[in-house]
Amino acid sequence: MVASRAGGGGFGTRLQQAVGKRGRLCVGIDPHEFLLDAWGLPNTAAGAGEFGLRVVEAAAGRTGVVKPQIAFFERFGAAGFTALEAVLGAARDAGLLVIADVKRGDVGTTLEAYAKAWLEVGSPLEADAMTVNPYQGFDSLAAALELAERLDKGLFVLSATSNPESTSIQTARRVHGSQLGATVAGGIAKRAAAWNADHARGEFGSVGLVLGGTVDFDLLGVDLPSLGKAPRTPVLAPGFGHQGAEFARIRDTFGEATESIIVNVSRSVLAAGPDRITAAIDEQTAELEDVLS
């Protein structure tokens, strides 16, 4: 059995501590081709790696959480993963919590292998949490849930995403199983909250949800108040900036789940460029704190 890197209350407690110390802003590490060009970096694995290291340097001490989007490294093949390993290591060394945005989903030992790649202590790709896709059934996540709990790591489960193409699937009603009649998105959210109720060792659970900042949660059937009850279900909220969600509307959008939220920003910060990214992080952190205070 591999020992946990962190003791105590697990990922939920570490996330709560990071949020309490550095605020609720999560900085995406997304080396898009156009951003590499704007930063004066080559569209190569080395360029993506340099970009990621600069973002880590800018985020360290300013925010508590970063989220590398793995696709922008994976596109360069093995060299991209080598670059990513360096970025993940630098983020850990800087004391940042790392959410690997990998959106893995499968069954049995296949998902277990994915979880070991991204969560196991000592893995070259080790992160503090990973995003997972439950659309083969929430119970298909069992191996990842068990591994995350054992290693004091976290999962963020896709529930109500901010892309408009998802609405037809995520609003569909269940005709079988424990969440009979619930929407797909709402049922997933209930299962995550139930897992935290059964397993959390602190105020925050270690299994969070991905809930987009641009969606209608009434339409999606997500019970936001239940996510704000102790133990809180962490909410990773993308969609701010480029996709149209606004800090000023967070409380209106997320209601009683607002105190559980981690707000992801990517292009709106990264587009500031290497000379202004630190200022952009500080500005958005201050704006977010003002809205949520």
Q: Which residues participate in catalysis according to the annotation?
A: 103
Q: How many helices (H) and strands (E) does the chain have?
A: 14, 8
Cα separation, 85 vs 49, whole angstroms: 9
Report the half-sphere exposure of 38 (CA within 13 A, side-chain side).
Answer: 15
Cα separation, 113 vs 225, whole angstroms: 34
Cα separation, 209 vs 249, whole angstroms: 19
What are all long-range contacts of 267-276, with beta carbons under 8 Å and residues at least 24 apart? 267/28, 267/30, 267/32, 267/35, 267/241, 267/242, 268/240, 268/241, 268/242, 269/27, 269/28, 269/241, 270/28, 270/30, 270/32, 270/35, 270/55, 271/35, 271/38, 273/38, 273/39, 274/39, 274/40, 274/54
3-state secondary structure of 199: helix
Of the candidates 87, 90, 27, 17, which has an alpha carbon nearest to the alpha carbon of residue 62? 27
